[in-house]
Amino acid sequence: MALPLRRSVNNEGAREKLNSAWSRTDEIFAIVASGQLNAMPIVWRHPFIFYIGHLPAFSWNQICGGILKWKSFNPLFDDLFCRGIDPDVDTGECHWHPEVPKEWPSLAETFEYRDNVRGALSEAVDAIGRSASADAQQGRAFQMVLEHEFMHQETLMYMLQQLPFEQKRRPGFLPRYSFQQAPPSRDIAVPAGKARLGAKFQDGFFGWDNEFEEVLVDVPAFTIDALPVSNGRFFEFIDSGAYDQEVYWRPDDWRWKNLEKKYCPTFWLKRGGDWYYRAMFDIFPLEHVASWPVYVSLAEARAYASWIGKRLPTEAEFHRAAYYGPDGRESEYPWGNTPPAFQHGNFDFAAWSPVPIGSRPAGASRWGVMELAGNGWELTDTAFAPFPKFSPYIKSYPDYSRDFFDGKHFVLKGASWATAADLVRPGFRNWYQAHYPYVFAKFRCVKN
Ligand SMILES: [Fe+2]
């Protein structure tokens, strides 16, 4: 089935979208307290200052340097900031990236570089319009730069989540938390049928290379939880002692749990005999946030599922549950074909925190499965792999398979509260390692 085309934007629209993405980026960096931009709250990521330079470097390299062939005003920074890191969390091995300098450039120089690139990009909107090839490269190139910025905004947010409170500033505009009780979950039966994964290059306004080409797969019948697992439900797993029993874990997951000395999800902490939840700017007694979705690594989600005699969904099962309904028709979003909005899910920084599961019933899929887009990415147990006819955007980059399609990264679908609405589309695939516990990632279970 051909889905509606995403609407292209004119030059003014493109500039507006860039400006609004940059304002959000600036809001995010402003959370880091003064003097703390060299902090590195997650050992597998660069310090914050790298990302201040990386976002403009990527944009410059793609558009001004790449398509328009403009002469760089800072080739050193174009290279230094061109690529981040994603080490194998089990071995520490990392793909190619520019050598990490003994000292990062000064903040003043990095901000100057950022501002120069932003100015150049605003001019590039018109310039690229005059020189664009017939394949709507303008829309695609700018959307790529925007989506790269959006994805990094989210990774910055989960780095900030790990940054100690005293190293960050609480913004004045935060929405209020909600703590109401969650409705009970139930099993929803999804009959056997087809699921369309990926997308047709011709159909969409923009997608990343790993989203193409589309493929139709047969999915056997399964039942799926109507709601994701909450902190309250996961607490039962911990409280029963099962989290510490090897029998529920896969061998490599168990090894990781022991090596990391994990006794609970990364967002929880235990003081004395009491459990607490560490949100971005506040600590709550765990029972206050019992209705929020639990954020865990895939390894922990698998152990929970095994404890209750279920398993994690596959990518194809997610698609069946999200984009189909009892009438067999496919829809663009779980709720239908209207563009993502506040009532459909907790994404696009609507809340700056999780909200109680089941708070946005208007976002339910036509089977009645809720929260498939928003409030936390949905973990699947499908290894991240190319669809048939995959063709990398960067032809000269030979390591795509070794670095990402490595059997150690798994597909996540949907969106979190820190995911821009532009990324809420069926084709979008996120991917993380099973032993990477920092993501705003929730899960639900399925049964054959
Ligand atoms: Fe990047």
pLDDT at 2: 32
Q: Is 151 exposed, middle or buried (0-12, 13-18, 19+ CB in 10 A)?
A: middle
Residue corresponding to tokens 């002469």: 71
Widest distance between CA atoms in the chain:
66
pLDDT at 133: 57
Q: How far is the CA of 118 from the centre of ligand 1 (A)?
A: 16
Q: How far is the CA of 436 from the centre of ligand 1 (A)?
A: 18
Q: How far is the CA of 60 from the centre of ligand 1 (A)?
A: 12
Q: How far is the CA of 57 from the centre of ligand 1 (A)?
A: 9
Q: How far is the CA of 397 from the centre of ligand 1 (A)?
A: 15
Dist CA 395 CA 136 (whole Å): 20
Q: How far is the CA of 448 from the centre of ligand 1 (A)?
A: 38
Q: Which residues contact 44 (CB under 8 A, 6 or more apart)?
A: 85, 86, 87, 89, 436
- Summarised one tens digit per residue, pLDDT across range 257-291 is 999 999 999 999 999 999 999 999 999 999 999 99
Half-sphere exposure of 378 (CA within 13 A, CB side): 35
Backbone torsions φ then ψ of 284, nearest 5 degrees: -120, 145
Backbone torsions φ then ψ of 201, nearest 5 degrees: -55, -40
pTM of the model: 0.94
pLDDT at 4: 33
* Cis before 213? omega within 30: yes
Q: How far is the CA of 85 from the centre of ligand 1 (A)?
A: 9
Backbone torsions φ then ψ of 382, nearest 5 degrees: -100, 125
**In 228-365, at which residue ranges do the beta strands (DSSP E only) sit?**
268-271, 274-278, 283-285
Geometric angle at alpha carbon 203, from 198 and 208, rounded to 5°: 50
Which residue in 305, 328, 330 sits closest to 380, CA to CA? 305
Q: How far is the CA of 358 from the centre of ligand 1 (A)?
A: 33
Dist CA 369 CA 346 (whole Å): 15
Residue corresponding to tokens 């047969």: 218
Q: How far is the CA of 214 from the centre of ligand 1 (A)?
A: 25
Q: How far is the CA of 267 from the centre of ligand 1 (A)?
A: 25
Q: How far is the CA of 155 from the centre of ligand 1 (A)?
A: 10
Q: How far is the CA of 149 from the centre of ligand 1 (A)?
A: 8
pLDDT at 8: 56
Q: How far is the CA of 184 from the centre of ligand 1 (A)?
A: 39
Which pair of tokens denotes residue 2? 């051909």
The DSSP string of 139-183 is HHHHHHHHHHHHHHHHHHHHHHHHS-GGGB---TTPPPP--PPPP
Q: How far is the CA of 25 from the centre of ligand 1 (A)?
A: 14
Q: How far is the CA of 58 from the centre of ligand 1 (A)?
A: 7
Which pair of tokens denotes residue 148? 């790269």
pLDDT at 98: 73
Cα distance between the two ends of the chain? 27
Q: How far is the CA of 5 from the centre of ligand 1 (A)?
A: 26
Q: How far is the CA of 238 from the centre of ligand 1 (A)?
A: 36
Q: How far is the CA of 249 from the centre of ligand 1 (A)?
A: 33
Q: How far is the CA of 84 from the centre of ligand 1 (A)?
A: 6
Which element (helix H / strand E) includes 93?
Answer: none
Q: How far is the CA of 142 from the centre of ligand 1 (A)?
A: 15
Q: How far is the CA of 54 from the centre of ligand 1 (A)?
A: 7
Q: How far is the CA of 340 from the centre of ligand 1 (A)?
A: 25
Q: How far is the CA of 147 from the centre of ligand 1 (A)?
A: 10
pLDDT at 135: 44
Q: Which residues contact 155 (CB under 8 A, 6 or more apart)?
A: 45
Q: How far is the CA of 63 from the centre of ligand 1 (A)?
A: 15
pLDDT at 91: 79
Name residues of the chain where pLDDT drops below 70.
Answer: 1-9, 94-96, 131-138, 204, 395-402
What 3-state DSSP class applies to 263? coil
Q: How far is the CA of 14 from the centre of ligand 1 (A)?
A: 20
pLDDT at 159: 96
Q: How far is the CA of 55 from the centre of ligand 1 (A)?
A: 7
What 3-state DSSP class applies to 184? coil
Beta pairing, strands 215-219 & 193-197: antiparallel
Which residue in 14, 371, 363 sits closest to 224, CA to CA? 371
Dist CA 293 CA 288 (whole Å): 12
DSSP H helices, 184-332, are: 231-239, 251-259, 298-307, 315-323
Distance of CA 11 to the CA centre of its chain: 28
Contact predicate 115/59, CB 8 Å = no
pLDDT at 6: 46
Q: How far is the CA of 298 from the centre of ligand 1 (A)?
A: 23
Beta pairing, strands 268-271 & 274-278: antiparallel
Dist CA 190 CA 42 (whole Å): 39
Which pair of tokens denotes residue 208? 């990343």
Q: In Å, how far are 186, 293, 424 from 333, measured between CA atoms?
A: 21, 21, 8
